[in-house]
Copies of this chain bind each other. A is one copy, B any other.
Amino acid sequence: MATRTAAQQRADAKLAYDAYVAECPTRQLLDRISDKWVSLLINALAEQPQRYGDLSRRVAGISQKMLTQTLRAMERDGLVSRTVTLAVPVRVEYALTPLGRGLLPVMRAIMSWAEANMDEVLAARSDYDSANGT
């Protein structure tokens, strides 16, 4: 329970002391989209609707906790749908909603940029590192 509550109170706190957020509510959404796991999950689900275990393997680095937590948050925001098929092994399938699917072009744009400029970033990175010794 502490998980979502914590995220919530951070958002609330921000709204309280950050006028910039208040006059531009899209910051909340940008925060949600700018989540590491959200972007990965959206891309994963873009290929096809997938089950919990599939996503767990597809994204690989994610823990069950964060997978559940992120999936819940995305479901709450209407980005993904959660379909439970009651069977002997319970089957839960996650899929992108039309709303979530609308994020795909944006995600693809990010991926494209990353692919195109990866080497430049790597160069800058090693450059910076060599300048700082360690």
Contact = CB atoms under 8 A, between A and B. Distances in A.
Copies of this polypeptide in the complex: 2
Given A109-B109, A113-B103, A77 B121 contact: yes
A87 interface: no
Interface in A76-99: 76-79, 99
Contact of A26 (B75, B103, B114): B114
A74 to B, nearest CB: 10
Interface string A107-129: 00111011101101101110111
Interface residues on A, range: 35 or more
A121 B127 CA distance: 42
Does more than half of chain A's interface fall in helix, strand or loop, or is it mixed?
helix
Interface in A34-70: 34-36, 38-40, 58-61
A20 B124 contact: no
24 contacts: A14-B61, A17-B61, A18-B60, A20-B61, A21-B61, A25-B118, A26-B118, A29-B114, A29-B117, A29-B121, A30-B39, A30-B110, A30-B111, A33-B113, A33-B114, A34-B35, A75-B128, A76-B124, A76-B125, A76-B128, A78-B124, A99-B121, A106-B106, A106-B113
